[in-house]
Amino acid sequence: MPEPQSKFSVRRCLTFATGLLECLCFAGAVFGWAALVFVLKEDRYFSFLCVNGTGVNGTQTLDCSAQDEQFSLIFTIASFMNNFLTLPNGFLFDRFGTTVTRLYGIFLYTMGTLMVAFSSSALAYLLFPALSFLAVGGILLLMTNMQVGNLFGSRRSTIITLYNGAFDSSSALFLIVKLLHEIGVSLRAAFLFLSACSVIHILRTFFLLPRNLIPYPLPDRYTYGVSCGKSVTASAEVAANGEALPAAEETPLTNNAPVKQEKTFRECLLSRFFLWHLLWLSVMQLRHYLFIGTLNPMLQRLTGGQPSLVSQYTNAFAITQLCGVLCAPWNGLIMDRHKGKPRAAGETEQEADLRATVLSLFLTALQCVLFSLCASTPYLPLQYLTFILQVLNRSFLYGGNAAFISVAFPSCHFGKLYGLVMALSAVFSLLQYPCFALVKGPLGGDPLYVNVGLTLLSVLAFIHPVFVYMHCRNLASERAKSKASS
């Protein structure tokens, strides 16, 4: 017997709420790297790379640029792995489903937290695999949670963007670690606690998520999770006429609905939608990664190396990251604003969804240019505005990325396409390390020219919303001609 509808609603609400907490408290912790670097420097990680130097007035100074470069390299590798391994992880998700993918992600995340916990100044190189494990495990938690939007059809994009905003906000986790460290809680104790929290992720995997994937559109009487000691995921249901229906995840909306011919993965991959979307994501992501990876040395330069000011601005940056979960739903609401409204004659739901993404894509590109301009200005108080624009743009960027892929391409290819676009953008993001080396070397620590170049590069992101707008306008024009001729 199927469970009562009220029980469905409670289970779905619990799935949504616990998924939001999981993304908010754990998934994107690696992007709070700037706050953790402050702690690691206090614990003398890579301190052997600091050397005595001579200042402009002939005074002795401590040159820690090699230490900064090492920390930047750790973040570069972790952010690359975070995105690049999303490709095989996307195939894993589409092929083996939610449970297998999450157990793999939880294993990696737990290994990462344990490695940080047992690292020390003498074992500082453990940070290289540790941060990569945290990054890959975290993105797997996000990937398996984004499908929860399929349970709430009319608010699907809002929930996808909300989860991505929570992922952004979870970077504040390392701020909490930093604040606890300042009152005497060791790095080891903090990360052992995070390791123990993996038990919660495992329980949620079995009780509040399906074994396979959540389909879209959602079949009637769809069930999932474990109930009364047995799995109800994809359980066979009995129709009113007594005939057995297919498993819940395969139940069509109507028995006589025409089968829609979906695009193949190859067709999706070679489409201009995918190519322009890849460019849109790559240029903005590079800007964000370079900003996060070089935030600590940038603050050191703008504050004249005053530890109290560096700490103050680092805390301000980490606190603004908490606002990602508040910013991201606005992007989802922009994309879902047409839901429930009558469509134009002959317009499909996918066309309406696609048209609604244009404003979101345009606003995201505009935010990135404004953020890059502020980040390029060497004026310390302006960095508060830079932090606000950065978290706003980042929440729009990643939420909009996932939502656009779910709208523009068949849901059966979501994991593969999401993984591929993240992997290819990761290759592009490797440019951050030569950019950092360029600033530290030939430019003498002044990032102005690199920032100006990245700002000009960010302008290329406007191509994507313009292309989608032209595509939607052409479809509307074809419908009008077809209607006139008939």
pLDDT tens column, 29-43: 888 888 899 899 989
Backbone dihedral region of 377: left (phi > 0), alpha (psi from -120 to 50 degrees) or beta? beta
Beta bridge pairs of residue 53? 61
**Of 267 and 332, which is predicted with more confidence?**
267
Whether residue 441 is contained in a domain is answered as: yes
Q: At what angle do helices 272-293 and 463-485 cross, to 10 degrees?
A: 160
Report the pLDDT averaged over residues 131-155.
Answer: 88
Tokens of 345: 């004659």
More confident residue, 341 or 223: 223
pLDDT at 196: 95
Give dist(CA 234, CA 222) in Å, integer: 7
Is there a domain that residue 444 lies in?
yes
Q: How far is CA 235 from the centre of its chain?
A: 32
- Residue 413, pLDDT score: 81
Higher pLDDT, 190 or 232: 190
Segment among 6-15, 48-57, 94-103, 111-120 with least mean pLDDT: 48-57
Output the domain CATH number for residue 371: 1.20.1250.20
- Distance between terminal CA atoms of the chain? 50
- Domain ranges, residue 416: 10-51+62-217+265-485
Give a yes or no: residue 5 inside a domain: no
C-alpha closest to that of 399 among 161, 216, 138: 161
Q: What is the pLDDT of residue 375?
A: 92
Least confident of 159-168, 259-268, 422-431, 448-457: 259-268
Using a cut of 0.75, tell me whether the model's pTM lies above it: no
- Report pLDDT for 340: 61
- Give the chain's domain count: 1
Residue 392 domain-assigned? yes
Check whether 283 has a pLDDT greater than 50. yes
User: In the prediction, which pLDDT does 238 show?
Assistant: 32
Residue 229 lies in a domain: no
* 231 three-state secondary structure: strand
Instruction: Please give the structure tokens belonging to residue 292.
Output: 């996060």
* pLDDT number for residue 414: 79
Q: For the segment 336-385, what is each residue's pLDDT rounded down to a tens digit?
A: 776 666 777 777 777 888 888 899 999 999 999 999 999 999 889 999 99
Q: For the packed helices 324-336 and 349-376, what is the interaxial angle rounded to 10 degrees?
A: 140
What is the residue whose two structure tokens read 């709070």?
A: 32
Question: What is the average per-residue pLDDT within 401-409?
Answer: 86
CA–CA gap between residue 95 and residue 153 (Å, rounded) = 23
Tell me: pLDDT of 285 over 60: yes
Average pLDDT over residues 148-153: 82
* 203 SS3 class: helix
Nearest to 136 by CA among 118, 99, 110, 100: 110
* CA dist., res. 302 & res. 294, Å (int): 12
Is 249 contained in some domain? no
* Within a domain: 251: no
For residues 390-401, average pLDDT: 87
d(CA 43, CA 403): 41
- Evaluate whether 289 touches 127 at the Cβ level (below 8 Å): no
The CA distances from residue 261 to 53, 171, 258, 264, in Å, are 67, 41, 9, 9
**Which residue has better confidence, 386 or 398?**
386
Closest CA to 162 of 384, 377, 364, 396: 396
Cis peptide preceding 217, ω within 30 of 0 = yes
- Domain for residue 289, yes or no? yes
The percentage of the chain sitting over the pLDDT mark of 90, rounded to a whole number, equals 31
